[in-house]
Amino acid sequence: MYDRDAIDAILDEGLVGHLAFTVDGQPYALPMLYARRGGEIYLHGSPLSRLLRAAAAGAPMCLTVTLVDGLVLARSAFHHSINYRSAVVLGSGRLVTEGEEKDEALRLIVEHAAPGRAADARGPSRQELKATAVVAMAIEEASAKARSGPPIDAPDDYALPVWAGELPLALAAGAPVADPRCSVSEPPAYVEDWSRGPRK
């Protein structure tokens, strides 16, 4: 699928992306938190990171995000599958050095993980900003792929006395566990009510 709304919905619901790139002929792939704004994806990490240095230099990159929706249990081992939605984004990066955009990119990454959190948490200090590199990856090409529904067995296998169907899976939050040194007794509503689904 090449529909940008479908692709953006997957990117916005995802939590972790895997960023792949090549440096000096060596392939690398790293899991990363990210945030999307319009036609760009923001990534962050150490300024010493080989990946971020390559991205900042405009190296081609590929970011993949996969949402697992369920296991598909078929009557035969051959037809087992998984229900999922995934997006693959190809693009190049640019280093974000301008203070206002860098601040906003880091705020968006926090908000992407836990909407409402950026207003509560202290923003980065000058020292922390120096210790953090931000890369904006332009979405130059993107596609989505998905599978949903029950298993598709071979015609003869439908008569087998084997349970078949879908086992839905979802990312769910457990009960919040406060830091032992936390001075606030109750977690905020956005922590209590956290869920992963379509993002606004």
User: Measuring CA to CA, how many Å separate 63 from each of 11, 17, 18, 86, 96?
Assistant: 10, 6, 5, 11, 18
Average the pLDDT over 60-73 and give the result: 97
pLDDT for residue 57 = 76
Rounded mean pLDDT, 150-163 = 97
pTM of the model: 0.91
Q: Are 87 and 34 in contact (CB under 8 A)?
A: no
Whether pLDDT at 9 is above 60: yes
CA distance 103 to 44: 11
Whether 167 has a pLDDT exceeding 70, the answer reads yes
User: Which stretches within 14-165 are classed as H helix?
Assistant: 50-56, 99-113, 117-120, 126-130
pLDDT at 200: 52
Residue 49 pLDDT > 90 = no
Q: How confident is the model at residue 199 (pLDDT cuts 50, 70, 90)?
A: low
Position 51 pLDDT exceeds 90: no
- 23 has pLDDT over 90: no
As a whole number, the mean pLDDT across the chain is 93
In whole angstroms, give the CA distance from residue 163 to residue 168.
15
CATH for 4-192, options being 2.30.110.10, 1.10.8.190, 3.40.50.300, 3.30.40.10: 2.30.110.10
| % the chain with pLDDT above 90 | 80
Q: What is the reported pLDDT for 187?
A: 95
What pLDDT, in 10s, does the model give residues 119-150? 999 999 999 999 999 999 999 999 999 999 99
- List pLDDT tens digits, range 75-102: 999 999 999 999 999 999 899 988 899 9
